[in-house]
Structure 1
Amino acid sequence: MTRTRHEIPSLQLRLVADKDVVIGPGKADLLDAIARTGSIASASRELGMSYKKAWQLVATMNRHLPEPVLETASGGQQRGGARLTPTGHELLARYRALQALLEPAASPAAERLLDLLAPDEGADPGAS
C-alpha cells in the first residue's frame, strides 16, 4: 500500500474486505480520472501512476463487487477507452457521499477528533 505524507491531519475513508482496500481515496481518484478522461492510460498519467498499477487497483475493486467498475474498448483507429459502469458510478457516488460526511466542516465529531491532534496555541510541546 502506498503511503503519502499528510502535512495537515485528516480523516480518510477506506472500505476493506479480506486484506484488500476495496475503495479508498486513491481508487476513488482513479475512478474520477477515468470518468473524466475516458481512458485508463490518461487517468494513470494524470495521477502519476503506472498503467499496470491502475489496472491492479481496478482488478481489486472488481474482485469484491458483483459487477465490474469499468467497461473498456480496444484501441485501433477508433481508439480505445474506458468508462465507468453503473456499478462504478454507484461505488464512487456512495464513497464520495460518505467521505463528505467526514469533512470537519460537516461533522462536529470529525472536527473534535482532529482537534485532539492540534497543539494548543502557546503550549510548550516539550511539557508533560
Structure 2
Amino acid sequence: MPKLKIRISHGNVTAMGPGKADLLRAIESTGSISGAAKAMKMSYRRAWQLVDAMNACYRLPLVETAMGGANGGGAKVTEFGFHILRCYEELVRKSELAAAAELQQLMDFAV
C-alpha cells in the first residue's frame, strides 16, 4: 500500500514532516543529536539544522540540549515535542485512512 508523505509548512520552512519525525524518535532513543545523526546516516550539522528549524517553528522547543561537561552533553525531546510528534503521527494515520481508496486507485494504474 502506498504511503502519504505529509509535511507541515510554517512559512517557507517545514515545521514537521516524516524526516523530522524520524529525527525526533532517533534523538529520544540515542539521547543526543550527534547519536541521532549517526543512526540516520546524516551529518551532525544537518541534524542540528533540522532541530533548529523545528524549534523555531513552535512557541515551545521540541528538543532541548545540554552542553557537554563532566557527564557529557545530550539532547532530549521535550514533553511538548512528544505532543507535536503524536499529533503529526495521528494526522498521517487519519489521512492515510481517508485517502485509502484513492491511493489504491492510483496504484492500480501504476507500472
Instruction: Give TM-score scaled by structure 2 length.
Output: 0.89
Structure 1 or 2, whichever has the larger Rg, is: 1
Unaligned runs of 5+ in 1: 1-7
4+ long deviations beyond 3 Å: none
Map 1:61-100 onto structure 2 (within 5 A).
Answer: 61-100=54-93
Task: Determine whether 1:101 maps to 2:90.
Answer: no
- SS of 2:99 mapped into structure 1: helix
Unaligned runs of 5+ in 2: none
Amino acid of the residue matched to residue 86 of structure 2?
Answer: A
Deviation of residue 25 (structure 1)? 0.1
Q: Larger relative CO (CA 8 A, sep 6+): 1 or 2?
A: 2
Identity %: 43
> What is the distance in 2 between the residues matched to 1:118 and 1:30?
29
Normalized per residue, which structure has more helix?
2
Per-residue CA deviation, residues 83-128 of structure 1 (Å, 9 max, x unaligned), is 011221111111111122233xxx1x321121222235xxxx7xxx
Amino acid of the residue matched to residue 70 of structure 1?
Answer: V
Does the CA contact (< 8 Å) of 1:9 and 1:117 recur in 2?
no
Instruction: Give TM-score scaled by structure 1 length.
Output: 0.78
- SS of 2:80 mapped into structure 1: helix
> What is the distance in 1 between the residues matched to 2:9 and 2:61?
17
- SS of 1:102 mapped into structure 2: helix
